Amino acid sequence: MFQVLAADSIKEEGLQPLLEQDGIQVHIGSVDSASIDLQKIDALIVRSATKVTSELLDRMPSLKIVGRAGVGVDNIDIAEATKRGIIIVNAPDGNTISTAEHTFAMMSALMRNIPQAHASVKNGEWKRNKYIGNELYGKTLGIVGLGRIGSELAKRARAFGMSVKVYDPFLTMERAEVLGVQLSSFDEVLAETDIISVHTPLTKETKGLLNEKTLSQTKKGVYLLNCARGGIIDEIALAHYIEKGHVAGAALDVFEVEPPGDHPLLKLDSVITTPHLGASTKEAQLNVATQVAREISTFFENKPVANSINLPAMSKEIYEKIQPYHQLAKEMGKIVSECHNKGISELTATYSGTAAELETSFLTKALLAGFFENRIDVKVNEVNAIHIAKERGIMVGEKVTGNSFGYANTITVKASGDGETFTARGTYIEHYGPRIVSLDGFNIDFHPSGNLLYIQHMDRPGVIGHVGKVLGDHEVNIATMQVGRKEAGGEAIMVLSFDRPLPDEMVDKLKSLQDIVTINSIIL
């Protein structure tokens, strides 16, 4: 039974996809609830309040996936989660409209002093002159970060007769034209706009984007909005610029530390604020909860998630196409690990034909996951495979070749270390299945599944008979058998498959036979 913890007051109605699925138990609570055994939780759903730190991850050894019911993942230690093979998914567009609408409402409220005037009337006052505001019409709005929310804000601003200048280093001229905004440099946005609204994620690059220096480049009387993340606008610098009358006012939905406590900005009359409400609408909360619940339910069905932060994005169609190669790559990783049961320092995957047309980095990660499966104690998957390889000093290479060795595709794995090299080649034949077509330079042809024995031996009369006798004495039935050799009388290999696991003492007996070089048992 998979255990899901939905924290941060996730809208329960949105959890329906998980509640409806057999084999899943959903707990509503928090990571601090005494009644919840964190050790057993497989999936965690959070909003922005729960901080998914390495300390929390230490307390959740079964955790496999974190669902962020929203956009920003700055409350999640992505590097730590990735190291541990934990997938992170978010709900990128479920709260776009709500946040854009909230930003627009904040902008209107800021320009017309609505919160201050409201409080004054409630206080028994009637100060019509004190609260004279400014029109939005004809003003220039500067948007920093024209992603989903920034774009929706731009559309609304244009509908209100504002012109819009945008700074976003990743934005194309075509997209700016479609949205009717003017693509500008950061300096132009600072110097030429009346209101500046930030809509970037909080990253190393965006932290303190508006600071003592850049605020000095803004127009005197500028208004600032932050409905993205606390810290994009330096709070101390902002308070300073408001106090000295350079910035006319600010609307803030977010703070560096939430709740902000006794904060200098809260003491300023021209600062209006909400408690991180951008995404807090019934509609957005239903959207984001449903989106992450669907993702987690898909994950438990062993299908690809659509919006992972630390896995490549893949549509259902692409996933279906890549799936057989993914399986083959993983099995080849296991085969190489078992057949070449030695230390390795380099692993190279070479793809050809139809395999080379796919997301090969995903296949290489699957290969590594298979390779490490029986070698190390840590669970290895596509999320942490590269990290684990690096940590263990294994160089991972990836190549594409035009030579398919007569097949429609091949995946060739070369493992090297201590002066020795082992190579395996496999192919996927449509409507037929995966085949291993070469092992350590020997041509062979077998289906990689079940219980296998890989035997290296000398090509001498009687060897196969002796192996058959030991198996017969143990009443072990051979399902399939393939042999390969490079030249008569030289080294040769056998790959045998069985319907059930093999007794250890029988494998030991086989090892002691004359002309047997090595024997490796492989379970796929």
Ligand X SMILES: NC(=O)C1=CN([C@@H]2O[C@H](COP(=O)(O)OP(=O)(O)OC[C@H]3O[C@@H](n4cnc5c(N)ncnc54)[C@H](O)[C@@H]3O)[C@@H](O)[C@H]2O)C=CC1
> Which residues are part of the catalytic machinery?
229, 258, 276
Please give the sequence-ordered ranges of beta strands (E in DSSP) within 210-341, or none if there are none.
222-226, 247-252, 271-273
205 touching ligand X, by CB under 6 A:
yes
Q: Which of ligand HPV, ligand X, none interacts with 206 (beta carbon under 5 to 8 A by kind)?
A: ligand X
Residues with Cβ within 8 Å of 124's Cβ and at least 6 positions away in sequence, in order, are: none
- Residue 447 falls in which region: left (phi positive, over 0), alpha (psi -120 to 50) or beta: beta
Please give the sequence-ordered ranges of beta strands (E in DSSP) within 402-523, or none if there are none.
409-417, 420-429, 433-439, 442-446, 451-458, 478-485, 491-498, 516-523
Q: Which stretch binds ligand X (CB under 6 A): 54-62, 161-169, 339-347, 425-433?
A: 161-169
- Own/partner long-range contacts of 32-37 (Cβ < 8 Å, ≥24 apart): 36/5
Residue 280 or residue 451: which is nearer to ligand HPV going by CB?
280
Furthest CA-CA distance within the chain? 109
Q: Which of ligand X, ligand HPV, none interacts with 201 (beta carbon under 5 to 8 A by kind)?
A: ligand X
Per CB under 6 A, contacts with ligand X among 266-325 are 276, 278-279
Query: What is the total count of residues that contact ligand X (CB under 6 A)?
Result: 32
Per CB under 6 A, contacts with ligand X among 231-250 are none
CA-based torsion, 360, 361, 366, 368: positive or negative: positive
280 touching ligand HPV, by CB under 6 A:
yes
Q: Which amino acid is at 425?
A: R
Q: Chain centroid to CA 196: how far? A: 31
Please return the burial class of 20, using the count of CB atoms within 10 Å of its CB with bins 0-12, 13-18 and 19+.
exposed
Residue 228 or residue 394: which is nearer to ligand X going by CB?
228
95 touching ligand HPV, by CB under 6 A:
yes
Residue 116 or residue 307: which is nearer to ligand X going by CB?
307
Residue 292 or residue 347: which is nearer to ligand HPV going by CB?
292
**Total Cβ atoms within 10 A of residue 102:** 23
Q: Which of ligand X, ligand HPV, none interacts with 141 (beta carbon under 5 to 8 A by kind)?
A: none
226 touching ligand HPV, by CB under 6 A:
no
279 touching ligand HPV, by CB under 6 A:
yes
User: Is the peptide bond between 264 and the residue preceding it cis, with omega within 30 degrees of 0?
Assistant: no
SS3 170: coil
DSSP 360: H
113 touching ligand X, by CB under 6 A:
no
> Could you identify the residue written with the tokens 């030249």?
487
In the complex, minimum distance from the CB of residue 71 to ligand HPV, in angstroms, rounded to a whole number:
4
Residue 72 or residue 208: which is nearer to ligand HPV going by CB?
72
Helix H or strand E segment including 445: strand 442-446
Q: Which of ligand HPV, ligand X, none interacts with 152 (beta carbon under 5 to 8 A by kind)?
A: none
230 touching ligand X, by CB under 6 A:
no
Assigned token pair, 297: 């339910």
Q: Which of ligand HPV, ligand X, none interacts with 149 (beta carbon under 5 to 8 A by kind)?
A: ligand X
Please return the burial class of 143, using the count of CB atoms within 10 Å of its CB with bins 0-12, 13-18 and 19+.
buried
Query: What is the total count of residues that contact ligand HPV (CB under 6 A)?
Result: 11
Q: Which stretch binds ligand X (CB under 6 A): 36-44, 141-149, 337-345, 492-500?
A: 141-149
147 touching ligand HPV, by CB under 6 A:
no
> Could you identify the residue written with the tokens 């684990």?
388
463 touching ligand HPV, by CB under 6 A:
no
Per CB under 6 A, contacts with ligand HPV among 47-76 are 47-48, 69-72
Per CB under 6 A, contacts with ligand X among 419-448 are none
Per CB under 6 A, contacts with ligand X among 170-189 are 170
User: Could you give the residue ranges of the DSSP H alpha helices within 112-194?
Assistant: 114-122, 148-159, 173-179, 186-192
- The site map against ligand X for 77-106 (x = CB under 6 A) is ---------------x--xx--x-------
Helix H or strand E segment including 426: strand 420-429
> Could you identify the residue written with the tokens 């709260």?
95
Q: Which of ligand HPV, ligand X, none interacts with 47 (beta carbon under 5 to 8 A by kind)?
A: ligand HPV
Assigned token pair, 292: 């992450």
3 touching ligand HPV, by CB under 6 A:
no
In the complex, minimum distance from the CB of residue 94 to ligand X, in angstroms, rounded to a whole number:
9
In the complex, minimum distance from the CB of residue 182 to ligand X, in angstroms, rounded to a whole number:
15
Q: In what side-by-side order are the strands of the sheet with 420-429?
A: 395-401, 346-353, 409-417, 420-429, 433-439, 442-446
Assigned token pair, 19: 């509640």
CA-based torsion, 333, 339, 341, 342: positive or negative: negative
* Beta strands 516-523 and 451-458, pairing class: antiparallel
Q: Which of ligand HPV, ligand X, none interacts with 200 (beta carbon under 5 to 8 A by kind)?
A: ligand X
In the complex, minimum distance from the CB of residue 164 to ligand HPV, in angstroms, rounded to a whole number:
22
421 touching ligand HPV, by CB under 6 A:
no
Residues lying near ligand X in the complex (CB under 6 A) are found at: 70-72, 92, 95-96, 99, 144-150, 167-170, 199-202, 205-206, 227-229, 253-254, 276, 278-279
Residues lying near ligand HPV in the complex (CB under 6 A) are found at: 47-48, 69-72, 95, 276, 278-280
